[in-house]
Structure 1
Amino acid sequence: MEKGIESIFKPHLEPKEVYKGGKNLPKESNKKIYKLSSNENPLGQSPKATEALIQAATNVAIYPDQTDIRLRETLVADFDQQLKVDQFICGNSGSEIIDMLLRAFINEGDEVIYSNPCFLPYSVFSRWYGAKLIDVRLKGTDYALDVEGILNAITPRTKVIFLTSPNNPTGTYIPKNVLEDFLDRIPKNIVIVFDEVYRHFANAEDYTSALPYVKAGHNVIAINSFSKTYGLAGLRVGYCYTTSKIANYIRQIHKPFLLPLTSLEAAIGALNDSEFVAETVKTVLEGRGFLENEFQRLGITYWPSQGNFFIIDPPIPEFEFTDFLMNEGVMVRPVSQFGAPGKVRITIGTQEANEALVKALEKIKGLSKKE
């Protein structure tokens, strides 16, 4: 019997949930809407990035750099020479870096461990390559990493474990002593993908990035992005750093001319704008403190955050809540898709945006009190 076209499809790519980004602002609106749904930079973008972008826009008729070497050299300087240029890999967003890593390490049937609630592409992208997905959920009401649960889930087919600190959407982090204990107990043939795209906003005394563990030679790959701190979400630039051995292996599948000229130049400009980075972090930390106080005053259940956002338990069902806030001019995001049903994520904005959010919350609390 003649087989249909479906016979050539990969079975692990049968229709399933796909990642959907946050909604954009309505193109036509008669009122001011504060977008607090996508964890974007509240101050916009670095002026130096803008200047570099404008200059690059006059040369888009020519190909960009064949490699990402100039951006990697700038990253070496940004990391105070603690890493070598061959330890960085750049790409079109942190998401593409995740895809590249999975393409490099995952064969069909290999196992990937991740911990919901978390960034949905960990599981969605892994499925593209036929991975068996193992969800060891964050535990307890404080969304802590389940170290023992992950260790017990490891099998000979485990290839990649995703860790995130600070974590999207919960805002929680992995304390340094927990991370060190975990890394000491992981088999040496497993790759740890450590997503730290919100690291600039983490100020807990026991927070750590992946840098010390990469320098120590662990099989850790640290994911970073230019979308948050640097305000380049629209240009889709990301990077990772790891050991030289792992980075040079991954570089075998790094496409030439991967980064557009505009994105490349803007990213280099952003890295050279330390004043903008400092002002961004200051704005987020001040806004974080302000909103914590307001949530407490209003009786809003929230989780302490080390990112530029909060996850809350809304006083009415999440979709009613997001619709209500949208009508009040504030856009926020339900995160059931991220493994946190019933919860809503709210980005920290400018003081004006934060005050608009508080005003809307005051109004909704006047309409409904959660039993």
Structure 2
Amino acid sequence: MNNDITSSFKPFLQPKEVYQGGKNIPPSNKKIYKLSSNENPLGASPKAVRAAKAILDKVDLYPDQTDIRLREALAADFNNEITTDQFITGNSGSEVIDMLLRAFVREGDEVIFSNPCFLPYAVFSRWYGSKQIDVPLKAPNYELDVEGIINAITAKTKVIFLTTPNNPTGTYIPKSVLDEFFKRVPKSILVVIDEVYRHFADAEDYVTALHYVKQGYSVIGLNSFSKTYGLAGLRIGYGYTTATIANYLRLIHKPFLLPITSIEAAIGALNDHEFISETVKTVKEGRKMITATFEELNIRYWPSQANFFIIEPPFPEMEFTDKMMQEGIMVRPVTQFGAPGKVRISVGNKEANLALIKALENIKTRD
């Protein structure tokens, strides 16, 4: 007889549905380039690191009871186009996702997302007993299916997740498409625009959630300090929305939520404009270099507005991943993200990108 306490509970999830983050670099005698987790190619913001170190002698004290200082820094970073009471922060963008789902979703409600996408949209919403509605991106270019989403909306729909640029595809949603979408979606539904890669987007018709927040739509722009600022290890993220929605979310915002080091590092990172510019420059130059290699080697890829690419490898994805690892390059299969047979490759610094190119050339030569 099973007396384990868990035996009396029926889990919402099966093990295969649990989100698994990217792997760390394994012990090796040779140089390994980690191009599997979309981390900052230059490391962390120097101002952020200095700010975190400077506060270490005060870690015996509780951090700020609220996140107001960080929200003030965020408002300034947005040129005060929105106010401090329109921001919500958390321990990573993923926690902000969890927070808004806890606030707006109940058992039996429906959540819409579009695969391929970031797996936690589905995983986290399932924790609260909701029904997941997948309206896949349209093949072959991974375009948002506005008509499909509108047709999928019911009286039980509470949250819709959109991502631009999208993880894992690197594609984006043009402004004209988002304009049409917001004209048709009921304002009673919270629309989450995950834009954690927004700094790397340079398409003329790219637009962030800010445009729609300022018009008063029920929308939240989701952001993270993990990519552009290089603070993935400190787990800090934020969202911005209307004051009404943000104040509602703050009702479940725990006191002393953010670690003291994370608060200081995030404020420092927002002010490190030189590092931000250099990061964006490095990614855009790397995208051009890697794109040219894909073209030369006839590797199918999708144009990216983020700091990574999704490709259709010349071998089955796991075989390709193993071959790349043998060449000293870590890449990530994205079947779990809803893109079977595809692999995601992050843009690195110049040294890493040159190593990637050499690895791709070696693999294709042996093909």
User: How do residues 225-304 of structure 1 correspond to structure 2 at under 5 angstroms?
Assistant: 225-304=224-303
Q: Deviations over 1:297-343 (max 9, x none)?
A: 11110000000000000011111111111111110000000000010
What is the aligned partner in structure 2 of residue 364 from structure 1?
363
- d(CA) in 1 for partners of 2:5 and 2:307? 46
Letter in 2 for 1:259: L
- d(CA) in 2 for partners of 1:232 and 1:286? 22
Q: How far off its partner does 1:6 sit?
A: 5.4
Q: Deviations over 1:73-123 (max 9, x none)?
A: 000100001010000011000000000000000000000000000000000
User: How do residues 271-350 of structure 1 correspond to structure 2 at under 5 angstroms?
Assistant: 271-350=270-349
- d(CA) in 2 for partners of 1:164 and 1:334? 19
CA RMSD of aligned residues (A): 1.3
- d(CA) in 1 for partners of 2:320 and 2:296? 19
Query: 2:309 aligns to what SS in structure 1?
Result: strand
- d(CA) in 1 for partners of 2:8 and 2:186? 36
Q: How far off its partner does 1:56 sit?
A: 1.3
What is the aligned partner in structure 2 of residue 105 from structure 1?
104
Question: Please, which runs of 5 or more residues in structure 1 have no aligned partner?
Answer: none
- d(CA) in 2 for partners of 1:198 and 1:251? 25
Change (3 A) 1:352 1:188: same
What is the aligned partner in structure 2 of residue 165 from structure 1?
164
Query: 1:58 aligns to what SS in structure 2?
Result: helix
Q: How far off its partner does 1:13 sit?
A: 4.4
User: How do residues 32-181 of structure 1 correspond to structure 2 at under 5 angstroms?
Assistant: 32-181=31-180
Q: Deviations over 1:32-66 (max 9, x none)?
A: 10000000000001110010011111111110000
What is the aligned partner in structure 2 of residue 183 from structure 1?
182
Query: 1:12 aligns to what SS in structure 2?
Result: coil
Q: How far off its partner does 1:29 sit?
A: 1.3
Q: How far off its partner does 1:9 sit?
A: 2.0
1:23 aligns with 2:23: yes
Q: Deviations over 1:156-176 (max 9, x none)?
A: 000000000000000000000
Change (3 A) 1:13 1:169: closer
**TM-score under structure 2 normalisation?**
0.98
Letter in 1 for 2:18: V
Query: 2:247 aligns to what SS in structure 1?
Result: helix
- d(CA) in 2 for partners of 1:30 and 1:183? 53
Q: How far off its partner does 1:8 sit?
A: 4.8
Question: Please, which runs of 5 or more residues in structure 2 have no aligned partner?
Answer: none
**TM-score under structure 1 normalisation?**
0.97
Q: How far off its partner does 1:367 sit?
A: 1.5
Q: Deviations over 1:274-302 (max 9, x none)?
A: 11000000000000011111110111100
User: How do residues 188-227 of structure 1 correspond to structure 2 at under 5 angstroms?
Assistant: 188-227=187-226
Q: Deviations over 1:218-238 (max 9, x none)?
A: 000110000000000000000
Q: Deviations over 1:115-143 (max 9, x none)?
A: 00000000000000001000000011100
